[in-house]
Amino acid sequence: MRLVIARCTVNYAGRLTAYLPEAIRLLMVKADGCVAIHADGGAYKPLNWMNAPNTLTIEDFTTKSAINNESNHDEKVKQVWSVRSPKGESLTINIVEVIAELDQEMGIDPGLVKDGVEAHLQKILAADPTSIEEGLRLVRREFPTDIGPVDLLCRDTSGAAVAIEVKRRGDIDGVEQLTRYLAFLNRDPMLRPVRGIFVAQEIKPQARVLALDRSMGCVVIDYDELRGIESDELKLF
């Protein structure tokens, strides 16, 4: 990876045109060819970027001979970075001053290990489905259907089947997914009638409205409480 802190201007041409006036910015060039321009703010999002694959060429105007060979060259500009993509997009970075730079080999990254992903939530809830609803007992985790496995299939205190879909963040797509599972499960005379419960750490308002309209339960869980065995308190809607 190459990191350069520089005073520069930036021109982008592609789906639209955009211009960044002269200012100090962080220029990042990754090993895969991705180029990103960051300001000292805006969290992780760059001001502009070009995803790989693309080509980067650098023209250096710091020598007198180079300047003399460029008739239209702005004498303030010390380097020009030209980034081109196969789709015809271009990013032109005119560097007036290089303040600091670093070239560092990063090696192969092992990837992000997430805590609290759906598989972990499923495992905890499968061990104790009463965290979702009092009296639930697990029939099977990853219960198979023709369109994919249901996260948890349980029975309630009356013996009725309950299909449970578990998400980290519950949105409309998750409700639609559970709807499809219920349609298949209710074809099985050994299971029907099967009701559904949508479980997530956070459920979007639109998803809750859709779930309730389809007679599904919605349960918001606290992952930290579940794994810490501190509280089984849930918000039940």
pLDDT tens readout for residues 190-220: 998 999 999 998 899 999 999 999 999 999 9
Comparing 14 with 70, the larger pLDDT belongs to 14
What is the per-residue pLDDT for 45? 86
Q: In this model, does residue 136 exceed pLDDT 50?
A: yes
**Parallel, antiparallel, or unpaired: how do β-strands 150-155 and 137-143 relate?**
antiparallel
**CATH fold of 2-103, please?**
Protein Yojf; Chain: A; (2.70.180)
| CATH number of this structure's domain 118-236 | 3.40.1350.10
Q: In this model, does residue 72 exceed pLDDT 60?
A: no
**What is the Cα–Cα distance from 153 to 168, expressed in whole angstroms?**
18
**Interval 131-151 mean pLDDT:** 91
pTM score, two decimals?
Answer: 0.50
Q: Which of 206, 214, 140, 229 is nearest to 182 (CA)?
A: 214
Q: Which of 163, 173, 149, 167 is nearest to 216 (CA)?
A: 163
Neighbours of 94 (CB within 10 A): 20
Structure confidence at residue 181 as a pLDDT band (50, 70, 90): very high
Question: By mean pLDDT, which of 85-89, 99-103, 105-109 is the weakest?
Answer: 105-109
Q: Can you point out the beta strands (E) in the chain?
A: 2-13, 17-29, 35-38, 48-50, 55-60, 79-84, 90-103, 137-143, 150-155, 161-170, 194-203, 217-220, 235-236
H helices of the chain, where?
Answer: 64-68, 118-127, 172-185, 205-213, 223-228
CB-based burial label for 195 (10 Å; 0-12, 13-18, 19+): middle
Is residue 106 within 8 A of residue 31, CB to CB? The reply is yes
What are the extents of the domains in the chain? 2-103, 118-236
Indicate the average pLDDT of the chain.
Answer: 86
Q: Which of 66-70, 113-117, 183-187 has the highest mean pLDDT?
A: 183-187
